């Protein structure tokens, strides 16, 4: 191991990035040093720029460099629908489908009594606020099919009686083979079966 | 996907780090933004510091922040042995064993006529130079057991007739089961068998 403290420090920091361990962090640092001008310098600069400018959108919780994010300020998007997601990576996943043209609301997690995460720790009051002020007709709950996700979904549905609250369909994933699916998924798909 | 150009640019740059693809780069960026002050700011700073200061040791080719690396300037290390490695990650791998107390020489690759890599593209002339000036008794070739690695090893051995040239032993890896080893390795281990 090189004793040069900056390189050692860089390896230690890189190893804390999810998806990289100590070994792959070493490989990454070696690659970065070799590609100093093409990769390391712009990466370092961009990281500092993002660290300085990135903040949460005051309206929906998405990342932005201003007060409001590009989705909240986009006049081409429809107003009447809000898609509620747990975290920003879920928002990105929804956006990649290109199937949703409304607005988003990022909760910042799920309700979890064990971890002392209540409605006020999430962006739930702000959501209830938005539903009344933004002339919303439908709230789509795109939360994980986990216990915490479903608890959160039911809590939100209970507090939004004035609008239609929908949730993502459960069933067989595209390309999925029955043999590899768990019983819960097959059961849900059977219950929600539709006429061909 | 977020349209904020800095965040998108950061994702694109992160995806070029070996070990990260587009998906894990997105996850990494999300994590970095969330851990802005604890991880992203120091990482950006350290990257810039290393990008500015890191260079190759004039003597052996290891990374350093000065003219000579910490191994070349370490008076506690023995002088008579030089361990020749292909690249700096191999040097790090050797150092992690703690089994070698001599000096290193990093070639920067292997001879490869197809890629037009000849002796002058590597640090081979400098190695021959060091062997004569540094009072070296043994050159240990710790090159990969690949065709290019072995070609390079034979080339170096041919040009260093004045000193003992050794190479790493080939055989069964520690913890290895014969059933999972290739024929070449088992054959090499059988040839190099020793009395118990």
For A61-90, the pLDDT digits (tens) are: 998 888 899 899 999 999 889 999 999 989
Going by pLDDT thresholds of 50, 70 and 90, the confidence category of residue A1 is very low
Distance (Å) from the alpha carbon of B183 to chain A's nearest alpha carbon: 28
Distance (Å) from the alpha carbon of B138 to chain A's nearest alpha carbon: 22
Q: How many helices (H) and strands (E) does chain B have?
A: 7, 6
* A9 φ, ψ (degrees, to nearest 5): -65, -40
Q: Into which CATH architecture does domain A5-53 fall?
A: Orthogonal Bundle (1.10)
User: What tokens appear for B94 in the block?
Assistant: 């050797």
Q: What is the pLDDT of residues B33-63, one digit of tens each?
A: 989 889 999 999 999 999 988 888 999 999 8
DSSP B33-93: HHTIIIIIHHHHHHHHHHHHH-EE-TTT--EESSSS-TTTT-TTS-SSEEEEESSHHHHHH
User: What tokens appear for B182 in the block?
Assistant: 């290739």
| Nearest neighbour of B89 by CB, restricted to A7, A27, A69 | A27
Q: Is the pLDDT of residue A127 over 70?
A: yes
Which CATH number among 3.40.50.1820, 1.20.1050.10, 3.40.1360.10, 3.30.420.40 corresponds to the domain A77-167? 3.40.1360.10
3-state DSSP call for residue A130? helix
Q: Is the pLDDT of residue B66 over 90?
A: no
Measured between beta carbons, the chain A residues lying within 8 angstroms of B26 are 89, 92
* A34 φ, ψ (degrees, to nearest 5): -70, -35
Closest Cα partner for A124 from A106, A147, A138? A106
Measured between beta carbons, the chain A residues lying within 8 angstroms of B50 are 6-7, 10, 29, 32-33, 40
User: What tokens appear for B63 in the block?
Assistant: 């990374």
Q: How many CB pairs under 8 A join A and B?
A: 162
* A50 φ, ψ (degrees, to nearest 5): -65, -40
> Tokens 């009686």, residue?
A161
Q: What percent of chain A stands above pLDDT 90?
A: 54
| Nearest neighbour of B6 by CB, restricted to A1, A30, A49 | A49
State whether A1 and B95 contact (CB < 8 Å): yes
State whether A53 and B24 contact (CB < 8 Å): no
Measured between beta carbons, the chain B residues lying within 8 angstroms of A2 are 62-64, 69-70, 92
Q: Exposure of A191 by Cβ count < 10 A (0-12 exposed, 13-18 middle, 19+ buried)?
A: exposed
What is the reported pLDDT for A82?
94
State whether A36 and B17 contact (CB < 8 Å): no
DSSP lists the bridge partners of residue B141 as B84, B167
| Nearest neighbour of A44 by CB, restricted to B19, B44, B65 | B44
Q: What is the pLDDT of residues A170-182, one digit of tens each?
A: 888 888 888 888 8
Q: ipTM for the complex?
A: 0.77
| Nearest neighbour of A41 by CB, restricted to B7, B51, B92 | B51
d(CA B12, CA B24): 11
d(CA B52, CA A54): 25
d(CA B7, CA B21): 16
Nearest Cα residue in chain B from A44:
B44
> Tokens 């996907």, residue?
B1
Give CA angle at B30 (B26, B36), nearest 5°. 140
Distance (Å) from the alpha carbon of B57 to chain A's nearest alpha carbon: 12
Going by pLDDT thresholds of 50, 70 and 90, the confidence category of residue A4 is low
E runs forming strands in chain B: 55-56, 63-64, 81-85, 103-106, 138-141, 164-167
3-state DSSP call for residue A145? coil
- The alpha-carbon radius of gyration of chain A (Å, integer) is 21
d(CA A173, CA A176): 5
What is the average pLDDT across B112-136?
90
Q: Provide the 8-state DSSP code for A172.
A: P
CATH number of B78-167: 3.40.1360.10
State whether B40 and A28 contact (CB < 8 Å): no
Q: Which residues contact B20 (CB under 8 A, 6 or more apart)?
A: A17, A19, A20, A28, B14, B28
Q: What are the extents of the domains in chain A?
A: 5-53, 77-167
């Amino acid at each position: 191991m090189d004793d040069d403290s900056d390189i050692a420090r860089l390896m230690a920091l890189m190893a804390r990035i999810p998806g990289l361990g100590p070994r792959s962090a070493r490989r990454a640092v070696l690659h970065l040093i070799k590609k100093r001008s093409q990769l390391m310098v712009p990466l370092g600069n961009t990281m500092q720029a993002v660290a300085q400018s990135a903040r949460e959108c005051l309206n929906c919780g998405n990342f932005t460099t201003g007060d409001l994010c590009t989705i909240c300020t986009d006049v081409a998007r429809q107003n009447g629908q809000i898609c509620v997601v747990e975290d920003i990576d879920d928002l990105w996943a929804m956006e990649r489908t290109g199937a949703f043209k409304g607005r988003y609301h990022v909760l910042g997690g799920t309700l979890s009594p064990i971890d002392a995460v209540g409605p006020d720790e999430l962006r739930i009051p702000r959501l209830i606020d938005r539903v009344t002020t933004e002339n919303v007709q439908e709230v789509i709950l795109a939360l994980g099919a986990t216990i915490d996700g479903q608890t959160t979904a039911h809590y939100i549905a209970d507090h939004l009686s004035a609008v239609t609250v929908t949730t993502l369909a459960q069933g067989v994933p595209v390309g999925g083979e029955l043999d590899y699916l768990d019983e819960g998924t097959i059961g849900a798909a059977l219950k929600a079966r539709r006429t061909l």
